[in-house]
Amino acid sequence: MTEQNFEHMRRAMVASQLRTTGTNDPRVLAAMGEVPREDFVPQGRLPLAYADALVPLKPGRDLNPPMALGRLLTQAAPREGEKALLVGAATGYSAAVLERLVGALIAVEEDAELAAQAKAALAGSGVTLIEGPLAKGWAKGAPYDLILIDGAVEFVPDALIGQLRDGGRLAAAIIEQGVTRLAIGRKAGAGFAMAAFADAAAAVLPGFAKPRAFTF
């Protein structure tokens, strides 16, 4: 596929997948219209780079559909100069988009293979890639104005909530009774609450499963 093909697909993504599904922040639309998703997709999956679907990266890990990221960023409303943490960097696509909205940021990825791909793809950018457990975030960089969990989780660990600044936001896809819902949360003092705003497909991230209750 040629560069022109990808540019056409990128414009189509913005017009048909983002604008029509609630991504209406001009800055988010511009950022996602600039970042070449094909640079963050395995060579054998390039035809799926702009598909309205999960794109397999490796067994157990996928690139989220554009709509999920667009809606989360629209609700989170990142602002230039905010201190941001991205959890679940994968190959680096969402980090590249978020960097265009806030500037420098920290991104965490626990899979060594994906982290290496992200470092290569993000070389020369303002993204600091940390290799470590997703559920632990990166306390050394806290507190954050914004934490974006780029994937679906069953719960948000206290470790991540504790890394938010008072008044800070956290955006994620939450799995509830088998349904994945995009949600935004805010921290106020010692309190934190999330509110869902849309159903959407999102890649399940490792390390965020709720402990199962014991049954006979």
Summarised one tens digit per residue, pLDDT across range 47-70 is 999 999 999 999 999 999 999 999
Question: What pLDDT is stored for residue 3 in this prediction?
Answer: 75
| Span 107-121, average pLDDT | 98
Say if 35 falls within a structural domain: yes
Say if 160 falls within a structural domain: yes
CA–CA gap between residue 55 and residue 201 (Å, rounded): 11
The count of structural domains within the chain is: 1
Question: What pLDDT is stored for residue 216 in this prediction?
Answer: 52
pTM listed for this prediction: 0.95
2 pLDDT tier (thresholds 50, 70, 90)? confident
Say if 66 falls within a structural domain: yes
Cα–Cα nearest to 186, from 200, 202, 207, 165: 165
Say if 140 falls within a structural domain: yes
- pLDDT tens-place string over residues 137-179: 999 999 999 999 999 999 999 999 999 999 999 999 999 989 9
183 has pLDDT over 60: yes
H-helix segments, 13-152: 26-34, 66-76, 93-102, 112-121
215 has pLDDT over 80: no
Beta bridge partners of 199: 181
Q: What is the mean pLDDT of the chain?
A: 95
Q: Which domain covers residue 174, as residue numbers?
A: 3-199
| Span 89-107, average pLDDT | 98
| Span 86-103, average pLDDT | 98
CA–CA gap between residue 94 and residue 86 (Å, rounded): 8
212 has pLDDT over 80: no
Say if 162 falls within a structural domain: yes
Amino acid at 33: G
What CATH number is attached to the domain comprising 195?
A: 3.40.50.150
| Span 85-96, average pLDDT | 98
211 pLDDT tier (thresholds 50, 70, 90)? confident
Say if 46 falls within a structural domain: yes
Say if 64 falls within a structural domain: yes
Q: Which two tokens stand for residue 76?
A: 């989170």
| CA neighbours closer than 13 Å in the CB half-sphere of residue 1 | 17
Say if 15 falls within a structural domain: yes
